[in-house]
């Protein structure tokens, strides 16, 4: 942090000051009603400056279409607010609204069947699809400095490294209008975002244990199955897994 203001902590707020249940002409709640860690109280200048970016020509239209798409994912009937479409349709409809023609699919080899199905679905809606698997380039993990013991299948196996930089650069080269991520690993997705010049969206993140639904562990974190997530006496072990710490010594 480079100033004396507290870290923003929207996660501990109910959001009723920035997202009030109000009509368009109703007075808004005063910002002072928000918690002292509210960014609207502490970072006014950044909020004001950030908002100006929406008025850049290409950004404004992109943001406008994204918000229209958001609204079209709901409907209100006599029973109240309901959701309408799954994320696959949301991505298809958003890409269509933006006038995109060529989409890039950056996928994990573990989800190659899903990638094929997805490409066919997008093509059936009229898009051109470029797809690139994470193992493209087949560079051995040793080229990153990994030792045999740090590979999945051990020293004797030829394991191609995940290659998100080349995935991104190939999609850049093919001038895709939108890159869609499917199941890239943590960290590999980070590099992809860093190197991809096209706008990016994520269709699905990888969760090897929970059917690519990482929030399942969160929803079960109050149960014995995953309450280890909330233990305060564990820290990341540098060689993998957890190490127990004496939290009284840290205080
Ligand atoms: S912006 Fe302020 S009011 Fe909105 S959720 Fe964050 S802390 Fe709460």
pLDDT of residue 1 exceeding 90, the answer is: no
Query: Residue whose CA is closest, atom 6 of ligand 1?
Result: 10
119: left (phi over 0), alpha (psi -120 to 50) or beta: alpha
Domain co-membership, 195 together with 153: yes
Domain co-membership, 94 together with 47: no
Mean pLDDT of the chain: 96
Domain co-membership, 102 together with 30: no
The band of 249, judged by pLDDT with boundaries at 50, 70 and 90, is confident
Domain co-membership, 105 together with 205: yes
Q: Which of 136, 102, 94 is nearest to 119 (CA)?
A: 102
Sign of dihedral through CA atoms 72, 74, 76, 77? positive
**Pocket of ligand 1 contains residue 80 by CB under 6 Å:** no
**Tally of domains within the chain:** 3
The band of 250, judged by pLDDT with boundaries at 50, 70 and 90, is low
Residue 31 pLDDT: 96
**Pocket of ligand 1 contains residue 211 by CB under 6 Å:** no
Domain co-membership, 108 together with 20: no
Domain co-membership, 44 together with 137: no
Query: Residue whose CA is closest, atom 5 of ligand 1?
Result: 15
Domain co-membership, 92 together with 124: yes
Residue 158 pLDDT: 97
Residue bearing tokens 């950004």: 59
Query: Environment class of residue 180 by beta-carbon count within 10 Å: exposed (0-12), middle (13-18) or buried (19+)?
Result: buried
Could you tell me the residue range of the domain that residue 224 belongs to? 220-251
Domain co-membership, 230 together with 175: no
Domain co-membership, 206 together with 93: yes
């Amino acid at each position: 942090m480079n100033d004396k203001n507290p870290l923003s902590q929207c996660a501990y707020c109910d959001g009723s000051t920035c997202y009030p249940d109000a009509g368009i002409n109703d007075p808004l709640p005063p910002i002072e009603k928000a918690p002292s860690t509210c960014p609207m109280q502490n970072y006014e200048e950044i909020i004001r400056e950030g908002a100006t970016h929406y008025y850049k020509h290409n950004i404004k239209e992109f943001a406008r279409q994204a918000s229209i798409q958001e609204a079209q994912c709901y409907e209100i009937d006599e029973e109240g607010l309901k959701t309408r479409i799954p994320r696959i349709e949301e991505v298809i409809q958003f890409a269509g609204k933006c006038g995109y023609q060529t989409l890039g699919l950056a996928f994990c080899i573990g989800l190659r069947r899903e990638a094929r199905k997805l490409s066919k679905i997008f093509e059936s809606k009229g898009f051109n699809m470029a797809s690139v698997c994470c193992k493209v380039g087949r560079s051995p993990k040793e080229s990153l400095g990994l030792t045999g013991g740090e590979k999945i299948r051990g020293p004797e196996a030829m394991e191609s490294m995940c290659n998100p930089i080349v995935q991104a650069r190939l999609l850049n080269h093919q001038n895709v209008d939108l890159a869609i991520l499917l199941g890239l690993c943590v960290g590999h997705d980070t590099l992809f975002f860093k190197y991809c010049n096209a706008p990016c969206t994520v269709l699905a993140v990888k969760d090897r244990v929970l059917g690519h639904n990482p929030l399942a562990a969160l929803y079960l974190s109050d149960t014995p199955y995953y309450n280890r997530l909330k233990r305060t006496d564990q820290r990341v072990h540098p060689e993998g897994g957890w190490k127990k710490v004496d939290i009284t010594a840290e205080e």
